[in-house]
Amino acid sequence: MLKNTFCDIIKRMFSEGKTVALIGRPNVGKSTLFNRLVGKKIAIETPIPGTTRDRLFGEVFWQGESFNLIDVAGFETQKKDEINKQMQDSVMLAIEMADLILIVFDWTDKNNEADREVARKIRQSKKKAIIVVNKADNIDRIENAAEFQRFGSFPVVPVSAISGKNSGELLDLIIETLKETNAAPVPAETNCDISLALIGRPNVGKSTLLNAIIGEKRAIVSDIPGTTRDIVNVTLNYLDKTIEILDTAGIRRRGKIKKESIESFSVIRSLRALKRSNVALILIDGSEGMVSGESTLIAQAVEWGKSVVLAVNKLDLVQDQREFVVRTLAILQDKLGFVPWLPVVFISAKEDINVQILLENVVSAYSNRFTEIPEEELNKIFEFAKERNSSLYGCVSLKQEKNNPPIFKLVYRGKKGLHKSLVRFIENKIRDIYPMNGTPIFIDLIKAGRANKKRYN
């Protein structure tokens, strides 16, 4: 089934492991603590309140045990706008699903009214909790951390997330507390077939598409550009494949991004997610058409050897859909002539139109990465190409070296080398028989008698 409840998704993501949630008001250091406990930088760390908006997940391993950690938006009740309401709903859902809550406080701001509201919500939840007093980076602060006991009858652990002070003691207590719950934490390995990076400009509908795929309001949806800042990932099973979906921050053209802004960090994270993935889902706004930055993203994905699927969103806003599809395909063919093998799927994330077809194309593009052409078949294709183009008679042999993605070795004779148009001609002949839609193939040129090579795609 494509649609799943949020809890089902979490179970698939984390197997049988226990879940710990970081809860606190904005800017108390939750993201820094999250990165410290997970052991790598996943959440964005800045002194700007409200940086984390969506739920982030990570695995923590300690002393042979493991648990799953959630970092959520800062808890604040004063703001009444729609985005903040969704953020607070996300916080409450994290509290509900957690086996243990880490209530994070800032030692340097001990009398904040928002802290009392956070503690009250946790006490009402009746969940097991640990009070974590952050920024306790000297002896005086550590010795006086007991002051925070007034927020509830929970254990108190002073830490410095930025330096790691007392993080081991905190982890010891977390593991000990989790063992007191119904089941002890167990190793939870995620072994995904497809790592899918959901990439696009701000406000093209990436979070809406993610919600449509999983059937749950997992990411915050808004018409305000830039709502998603961190990478948000979920995992699901589809067509016998385990798919990890990375919903990334919107990527604008570099000239429009302020240096050292939260957005600049998010773009770096998005490109890292693209590099980490094996399939890139590029989403564009059908009502605006493709811009140069989006074709650049596709070119970058291909250069890195990623399979690519293009989704044209907001089909629900179009009156004459047939005319729109024909016109858009003609425009895309002109702009994307360098990737004629690119699957294009017209969707409406909002109305859940063609979302399953989109996922089918993702799975197909991934499967095509592993295409292996029998040597006899490849020789026939090679000889046919030479018959159709006399300029290829200087080519000696064509062999497949590997797959994921497919890489071929073309040996040739001659002083001038081989023009890329001839290489493209050979690629087209290969794809005539083995289309491998959605997946780039690479052809390494090797001059006869030499070991050096030049790669073409």
pLDDT score of 388 more than 60: yes
- The reply to whether 253 falls in a domain is yes
Most confident of 68-72, 261-265, 330-334, 446-450: 330-334
Residues 354 and 406 reside in one and the same domain: no
* Banded pLDDT at 377 (limits 50, 70, 90): very high
pLDDT band at 124; cut points 50, 70, 90: confident
pTM over 0.85: no
pLDDT tens sequence across 269-302: 567 678 889 999 999 999 888 887 788 889 889 9
Q: Is residue 320 in a domain?
A: yes
- Read off the pLDDT band of 43 (50, 70, 90): very low
Domain extent at residue 398 = 375-456
Query: Is residue 229 a part of any domain in this protein?
Result: yes
Query: Domain for residue 8, yes or no?
Result: no
Q: Is the model more confident about 109 or about 311?
A: 311
Token duo for residue 417: 């080398």
Give the span between the Cα atoms of 206 and 211, in whole angstroms: 9
What are φ and ψ of residue 31, in 5° steps?
Answer: -65, -40
CATH at residue 70: 3.40.50.300
Among 54-58, 195-199, 273-277, the least confident range? 54-58
| H or E stretch at 312 | strand 307-313
Q: Do the Cβ atoms of 305 and 368 come closer than 8 Å? A: no
Q: Is the CA virtual torsion 298, 304, 309, 313 positive or negative? A: negative
Q: Which of 154, 179, 204 marks a domain boundary? A: 179
Render 84-122 in DSSP notation, one character per residue.
HHHHHHHHHHHHHH-SEEEEEEETT-TT-HHHHHHHHHH
Would you state the pLDDT for residue 400?
A: 97
Instruction: Determine, yes or no, domain membership for 11.
Output: no
Residue 214 in tokens = 């999983």
Better-predicted residue by pLDDT, 272 or 244: 244
Q: Is residue 268 part of a domain?
A: yes
pLDDT digits (tens, 9 = 90+) for 215-231: 754 443 444 444 443 44
Query: 360 with 236, same domain?
Result: yes
Of 317, 349, 368, the residue that ends a domain is: 368
> Within this chain, do residues 350 and 380 fall inside the same structural domain, yes or no?
no
> DSSP class of residue 445?
E
The residue written with tokens 């729609």 in the block is 82
Q: Is the pLDDT of residue 256 over 50?
A: no
pLDDT of residue 448: 83
**Of 351, 368, 385, which residue sits at a domain end?**
368
Query: What is the mean pLDDT of the segment spanning 148-154?
Result: 86
Q: Name 455's bridge partners.
A: 444
For 363-386, letters b (16+ CB in 10 Å) and e give: bbbbbbbebebeeeebeebbeebb
What is the DSSP secondary-structure string of 200-246?
A: ESTTSSHHHHHHHHHTS--S---SSTT---S-EEEEEEETTEEEEEE
d(CA 362, CA 113): 48
CA–CA dist 41, 203 (Å, integer)? 25
Burial (CB count within 10 angstroms: exposed 0-12, middle 13-18, buried 19+), residue 53: buried
> How many domains is the chain built from?
3
CB 234 within 8 A of CB 245: yes
Cα-based distances in Å from 335 to 185, 205, 317, 384? 51, 22, 23, 30
In a domain, 53, yes or no: yes
When comparing pLDDT for 17 and 62, which is higher? 62
- DSSP state for residue 355 in the 8-state scheme: H
Kindly tell me the burial class for residue 226, based on how many C-beta atoms sit within 10 Å of its own C-beta (0-12, 13-18, 19 or more): middle
Query: Chain-wide mean pLDDT for the chain?
Result: 79
What is the distance between the alpha carbons of residues 440 and 401, in angstroms, rounded to a whole number?
A: 15
* CATH number of domain containing 397: 3.30.300.20
Residues 159 and 243 in one domain: no
What pLDDT was estimated at residue 281?
96
234 with 174, same domain?
no
- Element (DSSP H or E) covering residue 62: strand 56-62
Q: Is residue 10 part of a domain?
A: no
Same domain, 307 and 403: no
